[in-house]
Amino acid sequence: MDTQLFGNSDIRVTPVGLGTWAIGGWMWGGTDEGQSIDTIHAAIDKGIGLIDTAPVYGFGRSEEIVGKALAGGRRDKVALATKVALNWNADHDKVWREATASRIEKEVEDSLRRLQTETIDIYQVHWPDPVTPMEETARAMENLFKAGKIRAIGVSNFSPAQMDEFRKTVPLHSLQPPYNLFEREIEDEILPYCREHGIATITYGGLCRGMLTGKMREDTQFSGDDLRKNDPKFQGERYRQYLDAVAELDRFARERYGKNVLALALRWLIDQPQVTTSLWGARRPEQLDPVSEVEGWSLDPQAFKEIDDILSRCIKDPVGPEFMAPPSREGND
């Protein structure tokens, strides 16, 4: 898989990265360590050169699995990205934002240990913390950068105004926002901002929590702590609208390109000029089989227009990913 420079850093990444939220198990119905390690190995074997994780993904579990998978000679084959500044209680039933300097200083050491690495390539503030001064957060990240513990400073889920405030203190290398065919709010202001300031993007949710795999049905059931039980896209009449859109997109992809909707959704992301890397979440090696289906073709302007027409025609009550935002830390300290 081709590589490109990661924004204004010296890190090289591939256009598709592996997202490991589901591998951590939390809000995805548990995890299987052996299967997860096999999935990470399969991603590397297929040429995927970026792996993204976070402490909160399984409360350290995802990072531990990634660390085990990269041990033994695979670490130098990938750019390794993780995050910081979420906290949780002992029962793991409350998560909140906490981007204090002390929290960042503690978390980076925990992440380095779990990941079995001396340096994190891309370190990202997971969510903006409205309680902590932005300068304090940015300065803590800058200290890690100067110490060589991280190679690039990133943020996730930040607005242009929040990135402006962050950049008053320290240069910013990257942003990780949600982005897929169904969730495109960042097109209005965020992507233009990143383009203007040379900020790389790692987009997450490329398959919209499985909606764009083409495997969801009206009677699909979600059990346990599966976050889709609380996702408004998967509820009632709105769910049927999204399923109709998936069906039409799948027909379009097959008739025009001989591909399925999953390949179309990822090719659409890769062909966005301001997307540096699009994350693909997988829990089993076979879920990575379609990687080869996104190579060797691209979408032209007419295809983009027809895709937009399908979305406009099918989805009358669109909704974004706002339900995933964690609360601030007020009342949780």
- Which residues are known to be catalytic? 57
What ranges make up the beta strands (E) of the chain? 4-5, 12-13, 16-19, 50-52, 79-84, 86-88, 95-97, 120-125, 150-156, 174-176, 200-203, 277-281
Please provide residue 154's backbone torsions phi and psi, each rounded to the nearest 5 degrees: -130, 165
Tokens encoding 55: 């402490």
**Number of separate helices (H) and strands (E) present in the chain:** 10, 12
Distance (Å, whole) CA 244 – CA 239: 9
Tokens encoding 113: 């240990």
CB under 8 Å to 312, separation ≥6 — which residues?
none
Q: What is the full DSSP assignment across 154-178?
A: EEES--HHHHHHHHTTS---EEE-B
Distance (Å, whole) CA 151 – CA 153: 7
Please provide residue 207's backbone torsions phi and psi, each rounded to the nearest 5 degrees: -105, 15
- Please, are residues 79 and 49 in contact by the beta-carbon 8 Å criterion? yes
Question: For residue 233, how far is the Cα from the chain centroid?
Answer: 18
3-state secondary structure 231-293: CHHHCHHHHHHHHHHHHHHHHHHHHHHCCCHHHHHHHHHHCCCCCCEEEEECCCHHHHHHHHH
